[in-house]
Structures are given as C-alpha cells and as structure tokens.
Amino acid sequence: MASAQGDVALPAPSRDGEVAVERALALRRSVREFASEPLPLSAVSQLLWAAQGITDPAGLRTAPSAGALYPLEVHLVVGAVSGVRPGVYRYDPRRHRLVLGLEGDSRAGVAQAAGGQDWVAEAPAIIVLAAVYQRSASKYGERTERYVHMEVGHAAQNVYLQAGALSLGTTMVGAFRDEELARVLGLPEQTKPLGLLPVGKPR
C-alpha cells in the first residue's frame, strides 16, 4: 500500500517456500529477455528481502556482512510493478518498505548508463546494489573494499536464487558508468552503485 508520500509498505515475505534450495541452485541462469507483464508486489517483496531482509530481532540479515555493519543499500527502479507507481525507491529493511526517492520511470536512463544495454530497460524492475563504504571503513580500514564487494556477491546470489524459486529471471550487470548511474538514481554522494539486477518473468 502506498502512503501519501509515495512510500510503499511491502507484504510480509515468505520464509517457507515450495522450492528447495538445491532446486533453486539447479535453476539458476542469467536471463536477459523478459516478458512484458508487470511484477507482482509480493515477488518484489520476496526479492528485496532475499537481498537484505531482516531475519533476526538483533537486526541480522539474509546476507552476511563483515562485523554486521551492513554497508549495502538496495534500491529498486520500478517500471512495471503492480500497485506501485514508476520511480526509484530505496529498500528499508527494518520497516520492510520502499521509500520513494525519485518519481518517474528511470529504466531507460539506467540502461544508457549501463553502456546502452537496451535489454536492461525491458525488465519491469531493476534492483540496484550500492554501498556506503564508510560504514565498514571505521573497523576494517584498507580491507573495506574487499569485504564490501564480497557482500555484494552474497546479496546478488540471494536474488538469483530467490528469482529462480519464483520462476523469474535476472542477470548481474557490472558494466556501467558510475557517476552517470548515480545521477540517474539520485543517489547520495556517499552511496556508490556496485551492481544492477534487472528482474522479470523470462520471455
């Protein structure tokens, strides 16, 4: 349900799906062709929870983080999600909701920043994995970058496996112009984009 400010409360994620993790691993493939139908909000909820959802009263999440400092920020570029108007949203894992950042469909701008990969804009939504390195730097110093990049891999694989379990597809995209993409997404200066996961039903 959307609030007056455009924020969106997400349905509670399932923690007991019908697809075994072994089956999800066997299904995992990179998908670059998507059907035109919109994503249901329940699927978006499940995918974002898989990336960085809270799984413990102490605030622990679905993906491991060095020192439990959680430098990752997850954003969602919405083009066609049922019940959600197009825009760029930040995922708030503590409240399990989308927080509106920018209004309007930014998928074409994301695809352009990704070197003109037009297929990116064909996905109904794009999950953006970004990071605030400073959250980890106070503890890990020069090893911060290494640890943060490990976390991006953990979160991305979670999204891959959850997508497979939902009969959806995605592909991790690392080729993009950082500053251009940050502008398109309206990211704060300290938030650095690290990966894109266009997601939708395979065509």
Query: Three-state secondary structure along 79-137?
Result: CCECCECCEEEEEECCCCEEEEEEECCCHHHHHHHCCCCHHHHHCCEEEEEEECCHHHH
* Structure confidence at residue 6 (pLDDT): 84
* Structure confidence at residue 142 (pLDDT): 97
Percent of the chain with pLDDT over 70: 98
SS3 at position 11: coil
pLDDT 10s digits, 75-95 = 999 999 999 999 999 999 999
* Structure confidence at residue 1 (pLDDT): 46
- pTM equals 0.96
Q: What domains are there in the chain, each with its CATH number?
A: 32-200 (3.40.109.10)
pLDDT 10s digits, 11-49 = 999 999 999 999 999 999 999 999 999 999 999 999 999
What band does 118 get if pLDDT is binned at 50, 70 and 90?
very high
